[in-house]
Chains A and B, each alone.
Chain A
Amino acid sequence: MQLKQYPAPHIRMSQTTRGVMADAIAALSFLYAMAFYYHGPRSLVLGLFSVFVCLLCDILCSAISKKRYNLRDFSAVVTGMILPLMMPASVEYRIVAVAGIFAIVVAKVPFGGVGHNVFNPAAAGFSFAAICFEDALFTYPPADLKLPLWQTAEFTLATSPAFVLQLGGTPGYDSMSMLLGKYPGPMGATNILVLIACLIYLVSRGTVRWSMPVSFFATVAVLAFAFPRSAAGGLASVGFELATGLLLFGGIFLLGDPVTTPKREMSKVAFGITSGVMVMLFRHFGNMEEGITFALLLMNAAVWGFDMVGERIARWMRRKKLGTLEGEKIPKKA
């Protein structure tokens, strides 16, 4: 019989990388369904176009670096799906294309590709598009407005509650319409209820570890309570901060990217808290109404530090619990 040698273990869990990515894609599809309900088929076409651009760039870059491209690796698809959800439904196709190309060609592939990238590609793509096309990215169509596929120039676009908050005012929408997403805002970030459902789904499936979003939102809530931007202080301010802009969306999908965030539980909590502080700093003192992507890119650069500190603490805890083994080469300098 033809036997081959295999290393232990000899059974494996049935979920593959495809399954892990498929969870994220399923959650994002919920959001696309809501965007379709509010804005018509243009949102779906934007999503498909963005996925196509990201996949194409990924395949081309792999061809240049002569690596075999594994088509079942859906990381480019996830990036492509996240990008338009952060933008208004009236965004032009070329802006999405620019963001997608920047995300893959500049932020993902040169830093190592799948599994090794330092910066979150979706956050990087959105940040670049925000610097280039600030007006187009932060004016949104009103909810329930079905947009045509090609010409959107003749529709009047409104500003989102995040802009109002930046000026120090109070958004004039009641809580029900904010929860359901009946206000102008990013395509996938307005439906608070659906977003919370996505969060619960992802956490229960194990794609996103609960410690990260919980620590992030808790920090933001505390800071929003302590330093309200609008005249309505206290809990209303917490509600406004959490519900407007890309904060909820970013906390679930951008901070939930396992590659660009720390791995250990305690590092994740520290990262979530620090990210919350950074995001609130950007919101208070930043130029644009939405600073989470910039804050996240800064924090991505510091992930290595969080991980190494976490490893040192883990090493200390491990030695306390397990002691040292005989025959072990204990180095002089840890």
Chain B
Amino acid sequence: MPMFSKGIVLSQHKEPAFSKPVVRFVHPQTDSLKLDLKQIAVQTEQDAIIELARLARIVDERDGKLLYRKLRRSQGKAKIIIADAVDDEPYVSSRIGPLLQMGEEVADGLELCCTVAGCQEKRIMVYKMITDLETRISHSIQKIKVMRVRGGYPAYQQKRLSHLGDMPRLVVGVGALIHLARAVYQQKQQSTVFLTVAGNCVACPMNLEVSLGMTVMQVLERCGLTQQPTRVVCGGSMTGVSILDTENTLITHTTRAILAVRENQRDAHYTCIGCGRCEQVCPSGLNPMYIHRLVQTNYYAGLPLFDPQFCIGCGTCSYICPSKLEVATSVATAKAYALGQVPGGEEEDEAPEAGAASPSPAPSEPEPNPSREQSPDIPSLPEEEDDAQDDDLLKDLPNAE
């Protein structure tokens, strides 16, 4: 009996944004920032690449970590480098779009990572279950083999990688690889990020390369709004954060998509009918129905049996609920309680309505997608002490005027 479901197949709606060329929407001042090569005083080629990655302030958009730290940790240890171009959420194609359009830069970036890690194996990971594409994805891009990740949403890359076993690997996002190639060969700092703009209020859905620090409103106006949206989402359609203030919300390194939708008013609220579909589709084998009921009745003492801390935040349970309940939010609340982040659980009376994140109207940035985590199946590379003085690198990023 399958307890851990293989996910649900979603219709991806990636066209027309996917097949259009990636358009640059950059601030000319930030785009022309160059690296100062005189600061580099290292011996080997590997250290040079790492130093360039550090000076260029490249952040891997997969997890929000600085790329040079990942490279340093994998130096000499990783046996395979994998470029992550998996876009399993509907409407989002901000990894696979740049991959197909700027394949050479991706290949260059992969080659540089291989040089750092000292290995030869390279792969590109792509999500297979996209049926409405006009462009075909070939089996190898720039002579690098493409691994197809099968299955429904959430696409468990780890399942595809399980044939690699315990081989130490380095997984880097496609955008970071492009920026690494540009840093090394054109001495450019990372000042842009790739994202998709889509939704039924957007006139021209497309993939954009946007300067960091632009506001969401500017990006939406670049693509044109046909009607006033009722919901603007920063992030994927299943795990994104809905924002309230588009004038003051900025683009960050981990913004993958901006969705602007307008929908009709919801129907009258149904109650839970106990159908059990949320439990059938949970990839972690949880029982969201009972967790939701416990949270709604504030009976947190019964939670340990249901293990809410294993929730990966995919949102499949809320998606499939026929009564349109906010099951995923309840499970997130229960998870916070189980991990001790919320003492007692008395404050959680308002949390199920407040949503996954609570942005303030003041100038703020959307959090880098905190709810979607990596599955603990990846054997992680050994952690090292991170240099504390490099934390201030991210502070003075250029803002658009």
Contact = CB atoms under 8 A, between A and B. Distances in A.
B159 to A, nearest CB: 12
Contacts of B358: 5
Given A114-B271, A263-B276, A328 B240 contact: no
Contacts of B277: 206
Interface string A253-296: 00000110001111001000000000000000000000000000
B237 A10 contact: yes
B319 to A, nearest CB: 5
Interface string B258-271: 01010000011111
A263 B319 contact: no
Given A8-B356, A269-B1, A318 B228 contact: no
Nearest to B314: A9
Contacts of B228: 1-2
Contact of B268 (A70, A265, A321): A70
B255 interface: no
A323 interface: yes
Contacts of A258: 273-276
Contacts of A7: 242, 318, 326, 328-329, 355-356
Contacts of B338: 328-329
B320 interface: yes
A70 B269 CA distance: 8
A315 B279 contact: no
A314 B268 contact: no
A15 B228 CA distance: 26
Interface stretch (A16-24, A36-44, A136-144, A220-228): A16-24
A92 interface: no
B248 interface: no
A235 interface: no
A264 B355 CA distance: 28
Grouping DSSP codes into helix (H, G, I), strand (E, B) and loop, the A interface class, with mixed when no group exceeds half, is: loop
Contacts of A2: 228, 230
B287 A311 contact: yes
A79 to B, nearest CB: 13
Nearest to A269: B1
Contacts of B41: none
Contacts of A266: 1, 3
Interface string B1-38: 11110000010000000000000000000000000000
A263 B238 contact: no
Contact of B315 (A5, A8, A75, A209): A8
A65 to B, nearest CB: 13
Contact of A9 (B269, B279, B307, B315): B315
Contacts of B289: 263
Interface residues of B, number: 74
Interface string A106-144: 000000011110000000000000000000000000000
A331 interface: yes
B310 A3 contact: no
Contacts of A8: 235, 238-242, 313, 315, 318, 328, 355-356, 371
Contact of B4 (A115, A321, A328, A330): A321
Contacts of B319: 9, 11-13
B356 A334 contact: no
Contact of B340 (A6, A265, A329): A329
Contacts of A114: 271, 273
A269 B285 CA distance: 17
B268 A259 contact: no
Given A2-B230, A334-B305, A17 B3 contact: no
Given A322-B376, A327-B340, A12 B274 contact: no
Nearest to A312: B305
A271 B235 CA distance: 42
A72 interface: yes
Contacts of A269: 1
Contact of B242 (A5, A211, A308, A334): A5
B275 to A, nearest CB: 4
Contacts of B326: 7
9 contacts: A1-B246, A5-B355, A10-B238, A11-B237, A12-B321, A20-B322, A263-B276, A315-B305, A317-B3
4 A-B pairs with least C-beta separation = A9-B315, A263-B276, A259-B274, A7-B355
